[in-house]
Amino acid sequence: MKDYSEIKIFRSIIGAKRKGERQMTSNSFFKCKVCGTVFRLRFQVGYSDCPIAFACPNCLTEISGLISVHQKPPDFSFKVDNVSEVGECQADYVLELSSEFLTHKMIADDHAHHLPPFLRNIDFTDTNKTARILQTADEIENRLKEIKIVRDLYNNGKYDYLERMLDGKSDDMAAALRRLPNVETGYPEVDSLSQSHKYILFSVEKTLGSETFSSINSLASVFESLLGKFPGNLFSFASSLGGALLKENRRRMEDLIVRFATMYRGLLPLYLLDWDLTKTNLETDGITTVGLKPLHEFYKDAFETICDSIDVAIGLNNIAVRNDYQSFTDGHYCFVDKMRKYGFKSAKAKSLVFMEPFSFPFVSLLDNTIRNSESHFSSKYNVLSQMVTFKDSSEKKEMYLAEFACKCFEVYCSMCILWDLLYQMERIYLIREIKP
């Protein structure tokens, strides 16, 4: 595990060792293997590994890799695909790289010595927060391996091994899992579902932000109170959805959660800004630690999965506001019949009444133009300006890559709220199945 307690000092040491002087950026030269374009990569020496994701502006070949930062002894090394390192030379383009800050976008190399990102951002930099978030990136990468084991054990019905694994752990996570209220039912399948769900939730808690985590908790309380007041209606609703749908969509969401959490390190500059781009000059600054492709694929798959699971929120709203999952605002009474009326899944999602307890953030986030453009391969990306153009048959939308990453983060948070509701429904479905 890396130590981020003295990150200020470390930045200078590593820069000094590399260049024989105290400086915070290091220039390395790489040549595109396809067209020979030369890049000067100006690395803002940081404390954590720095993912690289950009494309050659000339031949559009994707260039990706990682700068591994070693603390003892302080040093770093590049591993980048589709380019080869060359000695110091006349570069065509210069690109800043930083694991912590948004950076100047790629421009023709003007050989100017701009202030490094750290100094440009020094007024906004909170060293303790940086250390905390870097630590989180390390923790999440370790947790992701365990999430896979926990998920597989549950999905393969190996409940005894799951329990043994969690019992054998002595960390904070295991302690939190042992303190879970209202979880023990005595049915191994149900209790293991709760354990594996909570294990994943606690593992990715820091990727969600406190607001989303409190929404999950408060909706779980609303759910509990509905279960107290309308148990029969809630059980009927769970049965009408069916265990297979609940299980399938929960698993799809877990796959997506793992995919988003895997991008955490690439999204560090945005986590450090609390996903607030208002103080950023998006014309000059952008992001080079995460590429458009994984974000766009995430968006499309999350969009589909949210739409496929939105019935859960619709029925819960009906119960919360009108005491019956079959009862709609317009007086219509029959859940299955109402759901059949919608030709488009996203139109169904938009039927959620705004301001009802379980409507929370789903509807406004679902953008058909962005989703369709992925399906029909009609998004365009300008590698220099980092402007993404999404286009479908009726509309065109433009946004910077950093803005699109923020949109993906919102979709991710909303999906996690829905994921928790799916879990609650699957849990009561299983209880009813075992003990009718």
Residue numbers at the binding site for Zn ion (CB under 5 A): 32, 34-35, 37, 56, 58-59, 61
Q: How many CB atoms lie within 10 A of CB 180?
A: 13
Please enumerate in sequence order all residues whose Cβ is within 8 A of that of 268, keeping only pairs 6 or more positions apart, or say none: 48, 99, 100, 133, 134, 137, 289
- Give dist(CA 356, CA 226) in Å, integer: 14
Rounded to the nearest whole angstrom, what is the least distance from the CB of residue 92 to Zn ion in the complex? 10
CA dihedral sign, ordered 11, 15, 16, 21: negative
Phi and psi based region of residue 383 (left: phi greater than 0; alpha: psi -120 to 50; beta: remaining):
alpha
Q: How far is the CB of 299 from Zn ion (least distance, A)?
A: 27
Distance in Å, CB of 366 to Zn ion, minimum: 36
Q: Which is nearer to Zn ion, 61 or 385 (CB)?
A: 61
CB of 380 to Zn ion, least distance (A): 18
Q: Which is nearer to Zn ion, 37 or 233 (CB)?
A: 37
DSSP letter at 115 equals: P
Residue with smaller CB distance to Zn ion, 58 or 346: 58
Quote the least distance from Cβ 85 to Zn ion, whole Å.
Answer: 15
Strands 379-382 and 103-104 come out as: unpaired
**Cβ nearer to Zn ion, comparing 109 with 433:** 109
- Smallest separation (angstroms) from Zn ion to the CB of 384: 13
Rounded Cα distance, 312 and 300, in Å: 20
Shortest Cβ distance from residue 37 to Zn ion (Å)? 5
Provide, rounded to whole angstroms, the least separation between the CB of residue 82 and Zn ion. 8
What are the distances in angstroms from CA 355 to CA 307, 347, 349, 359?
A: 19, 17, 14, 6
Task: Choose between 38 and 174: whose C-beta lies nearer to Zn ion.
Answer: 38
Residue 52 contacts residue 64 (beta carbons within 8 Å): yes
Q: Among residues 16 and 38, whose Cβ is nearest to Zn ion? A: 38
- Residue closer to Zn ion by CB (options 59, 334) is 59
164 phi-psi bin (left φ>0, alpha ψ -120 to 50, beta other): alpha
Residue 58's identity, in one-letter code, is N
| Cα distances (Å, whole numbers) of residue 384 to 31, 46, 184, 296, 407 | 17, 24, 55, 18, 21
- Residue closer to Zn ion by CB (options 61, 382) is 61
Torsions phi, psi for 96 (to 5 deg):
-85, 145
